[in-house]
């Protein structure tokens, strides 16, 4: 009976995915294995390396995705055992000596386990060190810190998290790591044509090792799996893989990382910047992209500081499409209230951003108008064609008694944001001191245009455009006021 079980297990483990399933209990006897399609995706690409179809592979996945266990432990053991490639030599490295020792020990212990030896007794170790071991067929597994990479060679160079999350933002430390990769990685191979390099990591900076690979090398197959799906960044690789998710915001592995944990722990505690890099694999400079965080240092005002004659606009960027309940990262409805003082300063008084749609959007706009008061002009982008005419009539009914403006937008979001960004850069933009929305506001601005969310930036652009177009020459200093405010004849109140 046991013999048949072992033979069946050997047959199943020809698949790396099945090997992972069965070997899991040897490495993690007290933890339940939680499978996910991302495991199959990673295994699919590692098997392509084994078959010689690709020899340069970059994998970007969030923390906790089994990346080290899959690439640094299970895959080499699978190649030695089920694949019979016992002469392969592995050079595995990471920024941390602790991680190097951990993964080397795990592979050694797996190969020496009763489960593995019952199935592949031909794999016999002759050296069993903590960071170095070998088998009787000249196969070796060497683990070295990334800084010591130049002292070894291998048929497989496995680079697992070359950067530390602590030092990746240090220009000097990051430059040292990327230089080490450029100068010391490719010449660590036994055969430049047939040997393989596999880099697996979370993104920590736009100029990290992944950034260098993507900018300088077209040889790498890039498997990029963000925690939350972004349709515009769907991963498709040349070996036939395509991210199976279809809805923006769909989680990578909801059984392992449920929505509440993602929202409360990853986003809530880490903040937008760290989450965008480590979990969405979309790093942006912490200091900002088009907008720089330093531009807002000390730029706050108190309500009592607002001078007489300040003009106010609330521009809305409504979410246009319906979303499924699982889509928590798609477009939101955002409304920013901005004032322009007689001397040209811009005051941000309020920022609202909510993932709502349909009647909820209209209710929010109406309720906010009541709170803002009659002196605040309401601005919305106009839909194209006949839909825009219907939209005007709809909002005329909704906003009866308020001054509002609906106008089409020109250019893309980046083009529309440039004039407002220029005002931020010269120190003309001030935020309401102590406002609860400031962190979210600055995070989105400083991730723009690389961030997934652009609603708040678009609302700011709309405000600024309204405040500076169609100037009234009778006003001293040429402070702008909106041109024509659309309003239909009085009608009965809007029915939500």
pLDDT digits (tens, 9 = 90+) for 9-20: 999 999 999 999
pLDDT at 109 over 50: yes
Q: Is the pLDDT of residue 218 over 60?
A: yes
Mean pLDDT, residues 373-384 = 89
List the domains of the chain with CATH numbers. 2-219 (3.40.50.300), 293-478 (3.30.420.280)
Q: Distance of CA 456 to CAs 75, 163, 199, 299, 385, Å?
A: 44, 32, 35, 18, 25
Share of the chain above pLDDT 90, in %: 62
Digit-coded pLDDT (tens) for 395-429: 888 888 899 888 888 888 888 999 999 999 999 99
- Residue 57 contacts residue 197 (beta carbons within 8 Å): yes
In contact, 451 and 276? CB cutoff 8 Å: yes
Structure tokens of 9?
């297990």
pLDDT higher than threshold 70 for residue 480: no
Phi-psi region of 55 (alpha: psi -120 to 50; beta: other; left: phi over 0): alpha
Please check the confidence at residue 493 and state whether its pLDDT lies above 70: no
Please tell me the distance from the alpha carbon of residue 188 to that of residue 175, in angstroms, as a whole number. 20
What distance lies between CA 412 and its chain's CA centroid? 22
Judge contact between 131 and 100, C-beta under 8 A: yes
278-291 confidence digits (pLDDT tens): 999 988 766 667 89
Residue 491 is predicted with a pLDDT of 30
pLDDT at 454: 87
Percentage of the residues of the chain whose pLDDT score is greater than 70 = 89
Going by pLDDT thresholds of 50, 70 and 90, the confidence category of residue 186 is confident
- For the cut 50, the answer to whether the pLDDT of residue 494 exceeds it is no
Say if residues 134 and 87 touch (Cβ distance below 8 Å): no
Q: Which conformational region is residue 450 in: left (phi greater than 0), alpha (psi within -120 to 50 degrees), or beta?
A: alpha
Q: For the segment 29-48, what is each residue's pLDDT rounded down to a tens digit?
A: 999 999 999 999 999 999 99
- The SS3 call for residue 157 is strand
CA distance 166 to 92: 21
């Amino acid at each position: 009976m046991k013999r048949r079980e072992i033979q069946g297990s050997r047959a199943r483990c020809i698949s790396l995915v099945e090997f992972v399933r069965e070997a899991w209990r040897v490495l993690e006897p007290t933890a339940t294995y939680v499978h996910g399609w991302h495991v199959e995706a990673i295994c699919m690409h590692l098997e392509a390396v084994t078959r010689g179809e690709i020899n340069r592979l970059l994998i970007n996945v969030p923390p906790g995705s089994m990346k080290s266990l899959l690439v640094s432990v299970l895959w080499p053991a699978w190649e030695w055992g089920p694949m019979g490639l016992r002469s392969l030599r592995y050079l595995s490295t990471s920024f941390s000596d602790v991680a190097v020792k951990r993964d080397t020990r795990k592979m050694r212990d797996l190969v020496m386990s009763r489960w593995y030896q019952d199935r592949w007794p031909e794999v016999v170790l002759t050296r069993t060190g903590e960071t170095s071991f070998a088998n009787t067929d000249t196969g070796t597994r060497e683990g070295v810190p990334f800084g010591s990479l130049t002292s070894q060679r291998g048929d497989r160079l496995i680079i697992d998290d070359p950067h530390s999350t602590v030092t990746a933002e240090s220009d000097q430390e990051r430059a040292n790591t990327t230089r080490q990769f450029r100068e010391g990685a490719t010449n660590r191979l036994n055969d430049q044509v047939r040997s393989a390099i596999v880099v697996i990591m979370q993104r920590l900076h736009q100029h990290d090792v992944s950034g260098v690979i993507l900018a300088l090398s077209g040889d790498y197959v890039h498997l990029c799996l963000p925690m939350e799906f972004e349709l515009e960044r769907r991963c498709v690789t040349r070996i036939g893989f395509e991210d199976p998710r279809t809805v923006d915001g769909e989680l990578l592995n909801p059984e392992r990382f449920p929505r509440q944990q993602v929202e409360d722990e990853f986003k809530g505690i880490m903040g937008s910047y760290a989450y965008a890099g480590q979990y969405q694999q979309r790093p942006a400079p912490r200091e900002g992209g088009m907008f720089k965080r330093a531009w807002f240092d000390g730029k706050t005002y108190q309500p009592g500081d607002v001078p007489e004659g300040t003009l106010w606009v609330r521009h809305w960027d409504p979410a246009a499409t319906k979303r499924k309940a699982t889509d928590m990262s798609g477009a939101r409805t955002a409304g920013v209230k901005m004032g322009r003082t007689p001397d040209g300063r811009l005051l941000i008084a309020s920022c609202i951003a909510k993932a709502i749609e349909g009647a909820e959007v209209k209710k929010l706009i109406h309720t906010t108008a009541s709170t803002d008061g009659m002196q605040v002009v309401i601005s919305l982008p106009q839909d194209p064609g006949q839909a825009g005419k219907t939209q005007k009539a709809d909002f005329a009914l909704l906003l009866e008694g308020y001054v509002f403006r609906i106008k089409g937008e020109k250019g893309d979001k980046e083009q529309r944001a440039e004039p407002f960004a220029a005002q931020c850069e010269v120190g003309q933009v001030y935020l309401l001191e102590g406002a609860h929305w400031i962190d979210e506001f600055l995070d989105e601005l400083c991730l723009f245009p690389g961030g997934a969310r652009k609603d708040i930036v678009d609302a700011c652009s709309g405000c600024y455009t309204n405040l500076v177009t169609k100037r009234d020459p009778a006003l001293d200093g040429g402070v702008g006021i909106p041109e024509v405010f659309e309003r239909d004849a009085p009608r009965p109140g809007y029915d939500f």
